[in-house]
Amino acid sequence: MKTFTIIPHTADVRLRIEADSLEKLFVSSLKGMNRILNKEYEKYLDKHPILEEVSVTSYDKTSLLIDFLSEILTRSHMHKAIFHTIDHFGIEGNSLHAHLLGAPVDKFTEDIKAVTYHEAEVKKNDKGEYETTIVFDI
Amino acid sequence: MSIDKSNFKKINAYTWQIPQTFRSDMRVPAIIFASEKMLDDILQDRSIEQLINVTTLPGIRKAALVMPDAHEGYGFPIGGVAATSFPNGAISPGGIGYDINCGVKLLKSDLEASSLNHHQGLLARRLYEEIPSGVGHGGRLTLIEKRLDEVLVKGAAWIVDNGYGEKEDIHFIESEGCLDNADPQAVSDHAKKRGKDQLGTLGAGNHFVEVDVIDEIFDETIASTFGLSLNQVVVLIHTGSRGLGHQVATDYIRIMNQSMTKYGINVPDRELACAPLSSPEGTAYFNAMAASANFAFANRELIAWEVRKVFKEMFGERLSTLYDVAHNIAKIEEHVINEKKRSRKKVIVHRKGATRAFGPNSPELIDEYSLTGQPVLIPGSMGTASYVLAGTTEAMELSFGSCCHGAGRTLSRHAAKAQISGKKLKIDLEEQGIFIQAGSISDLAEEAPLAYKNIHDVVDVVDKVGIAKKVARLRPAVVVKG
């Protein structure tokens, strides 16, 4: 089930994400970012020659999500790759640790400069699901 | 908090003020330079709310300002200017933006418009071939860390020293293409890895190289001093510090978000995260920002070399630099803060989507421009026009020596694409004599003129307010985009 929606805006791109757990919110956010980076990113799903390890500590859950995506965006730019699979994923308090599997891509379809804190707020909605908006500077 | 026109005090036809009393956390008033119609448009997004947030920065002096090309940004609105006290006032990476030292360089030729006849298509293709552009495309140089560190310290001079630029150019770049507080040690390994193969590359989005023809001169005397004349062919280069600068901004916004409590700072928006300039975090950011700015000066100088190669090959023509200006940067400058005392104080001027516009007799200007004020380069959208303006004495009084930086978007990329196809846009522009070469024709529509504010209106406002003076208008003939 698709748990993110891409919302066009004046000078950027926004993602709206909902998920029934915090971990799934992070995973869906990554999928959304990858879809913006490369519209056809699913075709790389069976390729995963790159393994990266990521550890992030932030001061709250919202910052943890933004800092996590920023870290992966950086590595995507450095390796010219999409990191599509999260392995050994654990969130504890305001820290996380993850192994990422990725594949080099022919090109990015969008130049995401940065993942911003603008409008981001990880919270539980009336349905008891986690949700947030994420704005990408392009 | 809802904001409408009743909250503004009209200072004159093009200047509006929100008094400090509007919100309890404001430390200074907010000032908007815009016509009444533009103000109505600006109120459609959160630019004004963001400007009010800027007035809460620790150490802010006089007022937070926004230019007529304002639109919603992150932390600061695009078009925002703020000065904080030196050395203990705040420095905020959000006041510079993710594209550190995004800016514009203008190259002058001795060619007249007729020289381009029947050559525009080929010129567009050759420029596109020589200037790497698009997302994730590396340039002609891949630098080991030691060489990259040299670029971060020396800026545009590194390009000249290594045979890719012209020595005379350095004199005609803001700060001579080098901010001397740059410190490569303050730039993360991640940022260096993102930037190591990006020198001489344009990137994507609204960045471009454009061949223009001067189609109107507004001030003959200043134009003559600038070496500009009617029908002259010139080249505009619009790009910045690429992934290296994006990463520096990302790194330090995160660092400052985590360190603000240590300094007792509370801001209404995480993207306004800041630290005192004199703090270890503030100093490290300022020095990393300077290193990124130097990378951007070097980037535009190398792209100028690529442009020159094509002009020499096609026209046997040598190009000289009018000026190279930053529009996303923070600098320590001296300005009059207290109108009664009239003495100049050191302040940290943040310009985010705003161009330095120093007027005549400013001590920082080179002799060639000391009587006219500095050249101010305002790129428009690809189907309209760009402008050369001159800085003014009024800008020193009203806007910390700053003016607008471009047209400013009004439509999302998606909305622009829904209104016109890239293919049709390319054909329409060719019928108007504007030849486009772009990495993706379908994505070209994202940058269609209809997605931007009217550049003529924006420039008219800064001219009428007096913070810059119109000198020349440029009509695009060839546009190269990533």
Q: What is the share, in percent, of chain A residues with pLDDT greater than 90? A: 73
pLDDT band at A1 (very low <50, low <70, confident <90, very high): low
The confidence score (pLDDT) of residue A6 equals 86
Contact status, residue B66 vs residue B16, Cβ threshold 8 Å: no
pLDDT of residue B35: 96
Going by the DSSP 8-state scheme, the letter that residue B302 receives in this structure is H
Q: For the whole model, what pTM was predicted?
A: 0.96
Q: Give the whole-angstrom CA distance, residue A76 versus residue A87.
A: 17
- The residue of chain A nearest to residue B191, with distances taken between CA atoms, is A74
Confidence at residue B136, expressed as pLDDT on a 0 to 100 scale: 67
Pairing assessment for the beta strands B275-276 and B90-91 based on DSSP bridges: antiparallel
- Chain B interface, mutation test: which of A6, A7, A9, A10, most B Cβ atoms within 10 Å? A10
Cβ separation A107–B134 shorter than 8 A: yes
Whether the link from the prior residue into B87 is cis, omega within 30° of 0, is: yes
For residue range B227-263, list pLDDT tens digits in order: 999 999 999 999 999 999 999 999 999 999 999 999 9
Whether the pLDDT of residue B138 is over 70: the answer is: yes
CA nearest to B56, candidates B78, B85, B28: B28
- What average pLDDT does the segment A49-71 reach? 95
- Share of residues in chain B with pLDDT > 90 (%): 85
CA B83 – CA B91 distance, rounded (Å): 9
Q: What is the pLDDT of residues B64-105, one digit of tens each?
A: 999 999 999 999 999 999 999 999 999 999 999 999 999 999
C-alpha A29/C-alpha A22 separation (Å) is 11
Per-residue pLDDT, A2 = 62
Give the pLDDT score at B443. Answer: 81
Residue A11 CB-half CA count within 13 A: 22
Q: CB distance from B167 to chain A under 8 Å?
A: no
Of residues B418 and A94, the one with the higher pLDDT is A94
pLDDT surpassing 90 at residue B414: no
Nearest CA in chain A to B273: A117
Euclidean distance between CA atoms B185 and B320, whole angstroms: 34
Among candidate residues B471, B453, B461, the one with its CA nearest the CA of residue B78? B453
Two structure tokens written together for A56: 């992030």
Compute CA A15 distance to the chain's CA centroid, rounded to the nearest angstrom: 10
Q: Which residues contact B5 (CB under 8 A, 6 or more apart)?
A: B39, B40, B43
Residues of B in contact with A11 (CB under 8 A): 71-73, 78, 409, 412
pLDDT digits (tens, 9 = 90+) for B160-175: 999 999 999 999 999 9
Q: Which residues pair with B351 in a beta bridge?
A: B81, B329
DSSP letter for B56, please: T
Cα A106 versus chain centre, distance: 20
Which residues of B belong to the active site? Answer: 405
CA distance A73 to B141: 23
